[in-house]
Amino acid sequence: MKRIALLFLFPLFITSCYQQERNCIDFHTGTFEFETFLNGELSKTTFTRNDSIEIDYFRGKSDTSSIRWINDCEYIVKNLHPKNMAEEKAIHIKILNTIKNTYTFEYGLVGTTNKQRGIAKKIK
């Protein structure tokens, strides 16, 4: 009976000690791709980031945003040249985990609880 109990508890002990990899500093700079569905269509955004500026390329247009790092894995993005009220709102981004050249992140407007997730791939 003890062996059966240990057999069921052993996987629990192994998974409870698992720590997801978070090498966030590796993703502070570089060129990245992010894909998402917009209006039922797969859209790709490419962006280049250094420590304080991010330039997004989407559907043939570019946008420049400032970046303020809160810690190694969280930052605030704010559009430098907003064209409307929606673009004036800052976005909070939190890197949840990293695997090789990709990272999973959570993002949402600053001050709201509504969050979405995405995966970005470092291409340079």
- DSSP alpha helices (H): ranges in 19-66? none
User: DSSP assignment of 85-122, as one string?
Assistant: HHHHS-EEEEEEEEETTEEEEEEEETT----EEEEEEE
Domain locations in the chain?
21-122
pTM, two decimals, is 0.77
Looking at domain 21-122, its CATH architecture is Beta Barrel (2.40)
pLDDT in tens for each of the 124 residues of the chain?
555 544 555 555 555 555 567 789 999 999 999 888 778 888 888 999 998 999 999 888 899 999 999 999 999 999 999 888 888 899 999 999 999 999 999 999 998 889 988 899 999 8
